[in-house]
Amino acid sequence: MPLTRLIFAWLLAVSSSGVMAREYTYSDAHLHYVDFFQETAGMPELLKAMADNHIEHVMISGIPVAKKWHEDEPKRPRYYAGDDADAYWYSATDVIVAAAVSKLTAEQRQHFHPFLSGFNPNDKNSAMHIQRMLDLYPGLWQGIGEVFTRHDDLTALTSGDTPRANNEAMTRIYHLAAENDLPVLLHSNITSKREKNALYLPEIEEPLRNHPHTRFIWAHAGTSMEIHRHQTRLDFLLPTLTRMLETYPNLYIDLSWSVLTPYLLDEAGKPREAWIRLVERFPERFMLGSDVVGRFDKVGKELRSFDPFLDALPEEVARKVARDNFLTVLPRSVAR
């Protein structure tokens, strides 16, 4: 048999056995254009990262708080947890995002989906501020968030009271989101750093129940780096998510990095069967996010880290999770 026919036969056999690696096109459902000092590597670096890593669509938002460099600190912190200085709500983050997106070409803008985030979730004036931003930039904003409510050390450091996802200020925002067909990306920790139960679950479950016409994307499925640092794994997370997805058709799950391990993959990097079954059962309800902040050199690595889990899913489901599901939660005019 000629060599070319041998090669073709081998490729066919490998393909039919499922050994050949899949290649994915991604939507990044959780990306911050700036960091906690409202600084960014810039749009050219982001565009290059998207082109180099098959990232076709990006949710782009600011960071709703800025970290203070306190008068008594001799060295500027590099992260919000770098010292004990507080953070404060920072509305200009949305102006930074709007300015960056407005400089793109019309073709480039089709791949960017700006979310409004620069408001205080404890302030009942915030819904009016969001409406002003919608009026100032007509047609630009395609979602709201990431909204920081329960966020362990970050909201502990932020000036003022810790926001709750079920407070009156947020209730006004959910109504506004539904009226404008905008999804809400919400960070609301499911528990504290030490409680081994779903301590704060009612704070997100109440809005899901009371606002059935608002689409909620739950950032990190209610987890965070600090929770895992203290608790490693939350055994109640999987059954809780299963019940909530059964109950609330307006709930979507952002599988950004703190969900990858120790939940989707085990200690050896193998996909966990229970999580595979959950995603297969709700194939339109999960999406990927890098959650990078202002620097984009690792965005491709963050998204590709999900490939072992995606490869364990049926191919059609995997492609929905990698790319399509994020697009379906956007305003209907955009999704079309």
What pLDDT, on a 0 to 100 scale, did the predictor assign at position 153? 85
What are the tokens at 317? Answer: 């489901």
What pLDDT, on a 0 to 100 scale, did the predictor assign at position 7? 42
Tell me the pLDDT band of 10, cut-offs 50, 70 and 90: very low
Percent of the chain with pLDDT over 90: 83
Give the pLDDT confidence of 306-335 residue by residue, as tens digits: 999 999 999 999 999 999 999 999 999 885
Give the pLDDT confidence of 20-56 residue by residue, as tens digits: 679 999 999 999 999 999 999 999 999 999 999 999 9
Residue count of the chain = 336
Find the mean pLDDT for residues 121-138. Answer: 98
Residue 13 has pLDDT above 70, yes or no: no
What pLDDT, on a 0 to 100 scale, did the predictor assign at position 162? 92
Tell me the pLDDT band of 224, cut-offs 50, 70 and 90: confident
What pLDDT, on a 0 to 100 scale, did the predictor assign at position 17? 43
Residue 321 near residue 279, CB atoms below 8 Å: yes
Find the mean pLDDT for residues 97-106. Answer: 98
Assess if residue 33 is contained within a domain.
yes
Assess if residue 17 is contained within a domain.
no
Sign of the dihedral defined by the CA atoms of residues 83, 85, 89, 94, in that order: negative
Residue 9 has pLDDT above 70, yes or no: no
Assess if residue 261 is contained within a domain.
yes
User: How many angstroms separate the Cα of 315 from the Cα of each of 280, 297, 307?
Assistant: 11, 28, 11
Tell me the pLDDT band of 227, cut-offs 50, 70 and 90: confident
What pLDDT, on a 0 to 100 scale, did the predictor assign at position 19? 52
What are the tokens at 109? Answer: 């803008």
Assess if residue 38 is contained within a domain.
yes
Query: DSSP alpha helices (H): ranges in 137-259?
Result: 152-157, 168-179, 201-210, 225-231, 237-247
What are the tokens at 61? Answer: 């938002």
Assess if residue 18 is contained within a domain.
no
Residue 336 has pLDDT above 90, yes or no: no
CA 225/CA 231 separation, integer angstroms = 10
CA 181/CA 243 separation, integer angstroms = 25
Give the pLDDT confidence of 46-88 residue by residue, as tens digits: 999 999 999 999 999 999 999 999 999 999 998 888 888 999 9
The values of phi and psi at residue 49, to 5°, are -65, -40
Residue 222 has pLDDT above 90, yes or no: yes
Find the mean pLDDT for residues 234-245. Answer: 97
Assess if residue 100 is contained within a domain.
yes
Q: What is the pTM of this model?
A: 0.92
Range of the domain at 112: 23-335
Residue 4 has pLDDT above 80, yes or no: no
What pLDDT, on a 0 to 100 scale, did the predictor assign at position 11? 46
Assess if residue 15 is contained within a domain.
no
Kindly report the average pLDDT of the chain as a whole number: 93
Reading across the β-sheet that carries 286-287, which strands appear in turn? 26-32, 55-61, 112-116, 143-148, 184-187, 216-218, 251-254, 286-287
The domain that contains 28 carries what CATH number? Answer: 3.20.20.140
Angle at which helices 237-247 and 201-210 cross, to 10°: 10
Residue 6 has pLDDT above 80, yes or no: no
Give the pLDDT confidence of 243-267 residue by residue, as tens digits: 999 999 999 999 998 899 889 999 9
Assess if residue 169 is contained within a domain.
yes
Number of independent structural domains in the chain: 1
